[in-house]
Structure 1
Amino acid sequence: MRAEDPALDDTAALGSLISPVAGGRVEKLVTDAISKGANIRAGTASFNGAIAQPVVLEGVREDMDLYYQESFGPVVAIFEFATNEEAIRLANDTEYGLVCSVFSKDVAEALAVGRKIRSGSCHINGATVYDEPHLPLGGQKASGFGRFGGMACVNEFTEDRVVTIKAPGQHYPI
């Protein structure tokens, strides 16, 4: 999978980030992690302005900026853990809490883990990108300022209006 400017190559799997500044921010996070011992598991740490190639890093630790900051780029950090309790601690060790995913062959166990992670929504055996207009979206901690979506959002952005049409020859009794 590679990223490219969609205006130059519409076959690329990923487009550009919002700006070169965003690309520089992602590059800084990845470079910091690698300089402190993280390893590239897949992809490449390649950056060109707003184009950031996808990269998977393993060995991300608490002394790396990427551990605490959301990259908003094509970066995956792999964290190893031995127990569910350690995984829950790692997932909750952040000021953010928008969305989480828990993957397991045992759905009941995954649900039990998901219930302990402080996030606005949790997906069991599914990706965090799951935007349905009828479901509210919002986070906890620094990721949350209420909820967006669902009926509350529909009601907030909808104005009721009545329109009638009288067809030719149709008679409405008065």
Structure 2
Amino acid sequence: MLGYVEETIEAGATLETGGETAEIDGSDDSLVVKPTVLSGVTNDMAAACNETFGPIAPVIPFSDVDEAVELANDTEFGLSGAVHAGDLGVAKDIADRMETGHVHINDQPINDEAHVPFGGIGASGVGGYNSDAFLDEITQTKWISLQHDARDYPF
């Protein structure tokens, strides 16, 4: 994660806060990354075009909803996303246009409910966990018939 932050800063982004590990009592080598905000980011910078799985927020400006959706979909990944909006109808329209396995409206994208299928689109995930979709993704159905006795054919 910190490598992505460093690469993004080297590419021209500005570190607003974070960008380092948090001190943990009793540990000389913390693996906990402080919440990090980067501004001046473009979609091709490391913190924006990779799945970081950490508290890194690359802020990318946009001029309108169409551009925001275009930016959100301009990636090979599509695990999860979020839309924050005052108008729920507009938020649902945006969510429908996003190419992700999950979209959370006015919520954060870290929810794990065992009864809800979980999976991504594109290079994210390996199918839908918590559902048969995962088995469908990694298996091929095949029927093999074995007749032990002579059979009378109807024709």
Task: Tell me which interval the TM-score lies in, with the shorter structure as reference length.
Answer: 0.7 to 0.9
RMSD (Å) for aligned C-alpha atoms:
1.8
Say whether 1:114 aligns with 2:88.
Answer: no
State the distance in 2 between where 1:73 and 1:127 align: 13
Report if aligned partners of 2:43, 2:71 keep a CA contact under 8 Å in 1: no
Partner of 2:86: 105
String of CA shifts for 1:117-165, please: whole Å, max 9, x gaps.
Answer: 0111111111101111111000111113221115x49xxxxxxxxxxxx
Partner of 1:44: 18
| Alpha-carbon displacement from aligned partner over 1:51-82 (angstroms, at most 9, x marks no partner) | 32221111111442222111222211111111
Q: What is the 5 A alignment of 1:62-81?
A: 62-81=43-62
Q: Where do 4+ consecutive residues of structure 1 move more than 3 Å?
A: none
Aligned residues: 126
SS at match of 1:52: coil
In structure 2, stretches of 5+ residues that fail to align are 22-28, 134-155
Deviations 1:82-120 (CA, angstroms, capped at 9, x unpaired): 111101001001111111110000110010011000111
TM-score by length of structure 1 reads 0.66
TM-score (norm 2): 0.74
Letter in 2 for 1:50: L
Whichever residue aligns with residue 44 of structure 1, its letter is G
**2:101·2:121 contact (CA, 8 Å) conserved in 1?**
yes
| Percentage identity across paired residues of the two chains | 34
Distance 2:111 2:54 in 1: 17
1:137 aligns with 2:112: no
Look up the SS of the partner of 1:91 in the other structure: helix
Partner of 1:34: 9
Q: 1:2-40 deviations in whole A, cap 9, x for unaligned?
A: xxxxxxxxxxxxxxxxxxxxxxxx121111111222112
What amino acid does structure 2 have at the position aligned with 1:46? E
Specify whether residues 99 and 63 from structure 1 end up closer, same or farther in structure 2 by C-alpha distance, changes over 3 A only. closer
Q: 3-state SS of the aligned residue for 1:133?
A: coil
